[in-house]
Structure 1
Amino acid sequence: MSRRGPFAGHYPVVATMVVTALIPYLVLSAALGPITPIVQQQLGMSTEQINLATGLANAGYALGTVLSVQLAQHLPQRRMLIIYALVLVAGSLLAASATGAIQFITGHVLQGLCTSLLLIAAVPPLVTGFPPSKIRYTAVILNLSIFGAVALGPLIGGIQANYHNWRPLFWIIAGISILALLLVLLTFEDIPPADLTSTRSPLAVSMAAVGCIAAFYGSAQLLTKQKIEAETLGPLIGGVLVIVALLIQQYHSKRPLLIIKPLTTTMPTSGIVVAICAAAASVSAITLSSVLLQDRYSPLKLGLLYLPEFGGAFITAILFAILFTTKGLHYFALVGLACLSAGIALLAVDMPPSTIVVLIATGLIGVGVGASVTPALFIAGFSLRNAALQRVFAIVELMRAVAAFMIAPVLLYVALNVGSSATAGIRTALWVCLGLSVFGALVGVALYTLGGVRPPKPALLRWFGGEAAWYSPPLLARLRPNASTEAPEV
């Protein structure tokens, strides 16, 4: 194998590689809803099997964030990227050509797992491996690749459902996966392992695997059975507890795989809280509203109603590029949560919402999630050295994935089983979503205030030089007698 591909170091090609690696699963995660009945019918899958496919694929996505970091420490990173892309292609081909439930579930789970493996392996080098002048473009690409792809999912799924077919979408996704593999090869650079001296962490990976699989299996069973019983609550609650135990174990570990302790200062903690609340509230609100409206509109028309979400994400990406290197980055995340809260409130107040209300609300949700999650991620990343960015992305994506993909099924269960009607139950669940969004904003503001933070401008040259882009005070610094809100003198 050549040690350097013909397009290695070419920013546009490397950026395109990242986009094609992320799009397949993220589009499918939002597009499956409208075509799920068609997949079930044509493959002879039960409701439990289709829910299991979605749940385990989401579990694979969450697990991949931890596994990718572990593998990057001891194995050549770009060679592993080729393996991830190859397995993504295999999974996409399996799902597209599936003739039964086992083949489809296997392929879709591989898609989820490999997408997060590629995300953690490919995105941080795109951020830190090019000059500071490129980081604005990277931020926009990351925003649109993750949230733009998800926002387009309902429309893409609606188009497929309109033609009563699902395979063309899956074959297109497989084609994009093959393109991603080709671009990985063309941009290949033989990068060594991140840290051969680091401790192997089989316990952390095992806990992540057990926690993610159990929690998402439990949420899938809850959707299927619509009953509160040991078979559903046991795995769900047990899995969440294992993930919490993982975070605690990594916090106290002398040589952790996931860097929890450095993130427990004011700004990264605030950023993580914002990202978790925004992800949980936005995904749940879109899921709940689609269930409410699916009997009023055809899948295609419903997909068109959610198109403003992509428009909001696109506008947000442009504004993000303008504010990215200013202190406005911090306020932008707060504005995002405010827009997200407004969009959810519109859906909850007018039940069932009119067409105009849905269009405005989904646009606000698109602006809200795009303006909150990615800025929050970089607020956490800039608070540490850039060498830690891969591990920061991993922990944020793990927690975001658990919040986004697991809370939505739980709230959907609440919506369908609480209240005098489905409409009343969905309204109740939407108010919970609104509460999550408002809670994230209030906690973020409170942590900044009690930490004595004046939102700073990121010092990008210092960050690219190996230091943090700003000083993040200890948590609750103003309430702690020996804590300082000012950066220590060097």
Structure 2
Amino acid sequence: MPLRLPVPRILSRVPLAGNYPAAVIMVLLALSPYLILTTATSFALPVLMHDLSATRFELQLTSGMSNAGYAFGAVGAADLLQRLPRRVVYLLAESGFVLGSVLALSAPGIGLFMAGLILQGLCTGMLLVSALPPLILGHGIERLPFTAAVISIGLFGMVTAGPLVGGLIGSYGGWRLLYTSVAVLAAVGLTLGALTFESNEPYARGTRFDWLAIPLAFGTAFLPFFGVSWLSRGSFSDAAFLAPVIVGLLIGAVLIVGQYHKKNALMPVRPISNTLPVSGTLGAMLVGAAFTTLLELAEVYLEEVARYSPIKSGALIAPMVLGVVIASVLFKQLVTTRWTPVLALSGIVSVAVGAGILLAVSASNASAVVPVAMLFLGFGAGAGVTPGLFLAGFSVSAAQLGPTFALVELLRSEAAFLIGPVLVHLAMTTGSDFADGYRTSVVVTLILTVVGGLVVIGIWLAGGSRPKRPDLAAWASGTSTAFHSPAIGARFRKA
């Protein structure tokens, strides 16, 4: 009889309860539409500015606040799921996403469009935490490898498809049709969720609102993202950039320290503060930041220096999708073996290789060099982020999987959506033209990636951690974690 992970007692049955294909499709419909949109904006920017009578800053702020909503929504869902059935949280979040899509597609101006996108981001963060753990926990260990591949494609495969979609919009228009399609997909996801998602007894119904974690998570997400958005109209020396970023990061530090020391914390900072989950989380943050930065730099280079049309630029970036698919297939084969940490490290290496290739780009060879670089970036994203997420998830009990995902996604989003815009602004303001600044920012990204990779390796070595197969049987039974990871610096502590 196949092992099944422990799930809370079911309160009611729904028509497609326990149907694995339906659950997979539901999760993809919950996550994919928004993630495509996050990377479709760049090439569609001129069209949106014209149709919404918006400035570049207003659209950059819209994107930033939407990404902040995604990061905060994950933490908010982790709190709500303690008191509400996961079915209720899922249906509320998916309904909110449909509403946000309708607001965006019908927006006559930037105000309503911004509100719609922020609501989309907030609800997608909630959907990630409410929908992913049941898919992983409720369908047996034998399906876990395929589930892991689906999550990898759902998280980063859809992100890599965004530039091609944005290129189509930038060249041919039709962004309202795009958001209409997204709204329809979300409505299908809502219907499928109503037919698939089982209700459950909340994990801790009497738990009070976390007055430490939730307000601090709000400040951690929204303040820095506003500050970075300001760079599209200001400079690094502006108080409107410095104050929100510095205060937001300080609030984030207080949040992490507070959750580490708090008994029964909302986010399991202490349980994942050892070798494997720390290295996995740092790797996911590093890959996410480098990937986002290099993608944005390449997009601007293709438009500003190579002078390619949006559709051609999007097509040249499309090989990222193949890279993610390759990484997802590998992850499917390795997730139950001892090689997941090695795959996560290969993601960092692949992103560094992609950065090195992008240094060789010029206006005359961009059509040949960029696709090769994008293939490595896509593989790096797929191999570095989702395996890092699982390294953290396997290091806690199955019951803490949702809050762990919320914590990792908050940290990854902070890294990815803060560093990218900063280095793009650096490229635009350094040197005599963008080509000079582009190379400076790519070199900085490459250095950060290499140094970060060495730090991850150093954490492994200092912990004395050797690759081991995860104990999924114990994790499935709820008696133990899958990884028994040594403490940070365990090798030196023994000495």
| TM-score band w.r.t. shorter chain | over 0.9
Which residue number in structure 2 is paired with residue 376 of structure 1? 388
Does structure 1 conserve the Cα–Cα contact (< 8 Å) formed by 2:360 and 2:369?
Answer: no
Deviates more, 1:101-110 or 1:252-261: 252-261
User: Does residue 437 of the first structure (1) align with residue 449 of the second (2)?
Assistant: yes
Q: Which runs of 5+ in 1 are unaligned?
A: 483-490
Structure 2 counterpart of 1:332:
343
2:240 and 2:132 mapped to 1: Cα distance? 38
Aligned residues: 481
Q: Does 1:414 align with 2:426?
A: yes
CA RMSD of aligned residues (A): 1.4
TM-score (norm 1): 0.96
2:136 is the counterpart of 1:164: no
- Superposed counterparts of 1:28-427, under 5 Å: 28-226=37-235, 228-295=237-304, 296-352=307-363, 354-427=366-439
Deviation string, structure 1 residues 169-206 (Cα, Å, up to 9, x no partner):
11111111111111110113121212235453122111
The CA distance in 2 between the partners of 1:423 and 1:166, in whole Å, is 30
Q: Please state whether the residue corresponding to 1:457 is helix, strand or coil.
A: coil
Q: Distance in 2 between matches of 1:127 and 1:324?
A: 12
Aligned mates of 1:434, 1:103 — CA distance in 2: 38
Alignment equivalent of 2:465, drawn from 453, 458, 461: 453
Q: Is contact 1:312–1:365 with CA below 8 Å preserved after alignment?
A: yes
1:291 is paired with a residue of what secondary structure? Answer: helix
Q: Tell me whether 1:479 sits opposite 2:479 in the alignment.
A: no
Q: Secondary structure at the match of 1:225?
A: coil
Structure 2 Cα separation of the partners of residues 455 and 199 of structure 1: 40
Deviations along 1:285-343, one digit per CA (max 9) or x if unpaired, are 00011111113211000011011100110111111111111112121111121111101
Cα gap change, 1:354/1:101 in structure 2, threshold over 3 Å: closer, same or farther? closer
Deviation at residue 3 of structure 1 after TM alignment: 3.2
What SS is found at the alignment partner of 1:106? helix
Letter in 2 for 1:449: L
CA contact (8 A) 1:278 1:340 kept: yes
Comparing 151-160 with 429-438, greater Cα deviation is found at 429-438
The one-letter code of the counterpart of 2:322 is G
Contact 1:3 1:188 in 2 (8 A): no
SS of match in other structure, 1:401: helix
Give the Cα separation in 2 of the matches to 1:51 and 1:330. 35
Q: Note the alpha carbon deviations across 1:369-418, whole angstroms, 9 max, x for none.
A: 11111111111111121111111101100001111112111111111112
**Equivalent-residue separation in structure 2 for 1:112 and 1:436 (angstroms):** 28
Is the 8 Å Cα contact of residues 38 and 165 (structure 1) preserved in structure 2? no
Which runs of 5 or more residues in structure 2 are unaligned? 1-10
Q: What letter corresponds to residue 489 of structure 2 in structure 1?
A: L
Kindly indicate whether residue 15 of structure 2 is the aligned counterpart of residue 3 of structure 1. no
Q: Which amino acid aligns with 2:350?
A: C
Deviations 1:104-145 (A, max 9, x none): 000010000000100011101110111101111110110001
Deviation string, structure 1 residues 248-293 (Cα, Å, up to 9, x no partner): 1111112311111111111111111100000000010000111111
How high is the sequence identity, in percent, across the aligned residues? 38
Distance 2:486 2:115 in 1: 45
Distance 1:334 1:449 in 2: 13
What are the superposed Cα offsets for residues 6-39 of structure 1, whole Å, 9 maximum, x if unpaired? Answer: 1111010011000001011100001111112111
Query: Contact (CA 8 Å) 1:65, 1:398: kept in 2 or not?
Result: yes
CA–CA distance in structure 2, aligned partners of residues 234 and 394 of structure 1: 26
Whole-angstrom distance in 2 between the partners of 1:400 and 1:322: 25
Contact kept? 1:292, 1:426, Cα under 8 Å:
yes
Describe the SS at the equivalent of 1:453: coil
Question: How many angstroms apart in 2 are the aligned matches of 1:253 and 1:188?
Answer: 32
- Structure 2: distance between partners of 1:25 and 1:188: 20
1:351 Cα deviation after fit: 4.2
8 A contact 2:398–2:476 mirrored in 1: yes
Task: Select between 231-240 and 261-270 the one with higher mean Cα deviation.
Answer: 231-240
